Amino acid sequence: MSDRKESEQQNFEKLSQYRSRIDELDERLIQTLAERHKVVREVFSNKLSDSTIIRDAGREETLLKKVRDMAQDAGIDPYFTEQLFRDIIYQSVRYQSHSLLDHQNNKLDVRSISVSYQGTRGAYSHQAAMRHFSERYDDIRCIGFKTFEKAAIAVEEGETDVAILPIENTTAGSINDTYDVLAEKELHIIGEEVLKVNHCLMATGPVQVSSIRRILSHPQAISQCSRFLAELNHCRIEPYTDTAMAAQKVMDDGDPEQAAIASSYAAELYDLHIIAKDLANQQGNYTRFVIVSRDPIVCDPQIPAKTSLLLATVHEKGALLQCLKVLDRHGINMTKLESRPRIGKPWQYLFYVDLEGNHEESNMRKALREIENKAAHFKILGCYPAQREKEV
């Protein structure tokens, strides 16, 4: 063997050893995080018995300072380490908040849940459902439907416990079908989930994008990737029922000139090759989902909450403004205002409003009572835990 080949062989063996060592350390990190989570669960059990608050902001800041100091001493970037531990703390608070919610709604001992969603396995809604419920339930049964309405009907008729529906995207905006479902159905919002969406172009093999002639995906995904798709003059873009269903069709057809826009999870499920990624017009592409149920929930005052409303104003000049002034007068922050045509009432509109705060708070109760008196139609869609900004 030549000296060069022998040197290359030695380098390869060293690299393999380093990689094996990194794999061992990664496994230890996961095991340590799992052990930490067990302790968090025990801490939460004690909090239930002595009514201690879920979150201790002072202790969090003390911990983060300690982490920065330890990172500095260990020669690690303190900023990176602090961000990592902020994520770990966020996950701990999230678990405890959800568990407190389940405790107060007599669901802490429930270990299984059924979730309806639009799409098939691997869809973003499916991922959001798993993200939202995986820490709280041992058994999560997700059932896909062709439309948002059918997913909602499954909850109405008792086929599933809850449905998860996308309601807005940071690139494409509001998802009107979900707003229409909320208006028509007697369902209650009991939670929300924010999912970072990374659209990928996938095909049956590792081909060049220039060889693709047909791309399938959900209309929302197509809209969110419009700039990327506008450059592909050689491709026919076709709307499909769902991103994951589009990926499944590409796999089933086996056509090397056909591709789908879906998640990396869908590519893994359907054994497809990702040939382009990060396709959305915006780098920070997030979708907000709402979880709906037949029954409302009680939301503990110490959990940051959001209250969602549905209202129609009387047909008078400045009617909507008068309702919004009520919120201002009571110091309530409105985070979203969306209008949709009122079905069966030409030229009338329903307004969907998201407010910061719990509808049981004194100021909120007074404000909602005033708005209800001013509105032609009024409905509280739900009061539920709000996602923290850290999630996005």
Determine the pLDDT at residue 391: 44
Determine the pLDDT at residue 49: 64
CA 284 to chain centre: 13
pTM: 0.84
pLDDT per residue as tens, the chain (392 positions): 567 777 778 888 888 899 999 999 999 999 999 999 899 888 887 776 655 567 777 888 999 999 999 999 999 999 999 999 999 998 888 888 888 888 889 887 888 999 999 999 999 999 999 999 998 899 999 999 999 999 999 999 999 999 999 999 988 889 999 999 999 999 999 999 999 999 999 999 999 999 999 999 999 899 999 999 999 988 999 999 899 999 999 999 999 999 999 999 999 999 999 999 999 998 888 999 999 999 999 998 888 899 999 999 887 788 889 999 999 999 999 999 999 888 777 777 899 999 999 999 999 999 999 999 999 889 999 999 998 644 44
Determine the pLDDT at residue 385: 93
Active site positions, annotated: 287, 289
* Domains assigned to the chain: 3-104 (1.20.59.10), 112-197+286-290 (3.40.190.10), 200-276 (3.40.190.10), 297-391 (3.30.70.260)
